[in-house]
Structure 1
């Protein structure tokens, strides 16, 4: 049995994600997806006035505020 690499500490995995730098592999979270992306359950880039998905599909891109959404329930 070999010893673990010296850069690892007890309880850490060699698959740990670096948190101190920008990691291009991790997707950015968008505050809210547009209504079209939410309906289709696809990732929205959150760009305004129109996200990439809506531009590609040639549909109107609309965003509903959280307050408006909660009133409808």
Structure 2
């Protein structure tokens, strides 16, 4: 049972990392209050929804084009 509980805690700790959006929300919330942090979160949610819609509506066909793949590979390499 101890092993099972330790795996649960390990899963919880790995599933909720502090990313750039969470850090921006914390920073804005500490400096300016709840509503400013809330709007940062709403902006992140809006961006995620737009990305999901682009994928759902077929943006993947554009990303499979050889020119676009080469551009993304080169950009990733340089970055």
The normalised TM-score by structure 2 is: 0.22
More helix by share: 2
The normalised TM-score by structure 1 is: 0.23
Q: Which has the higher contact order (CA 8 A, sep 6+)?
A: 1
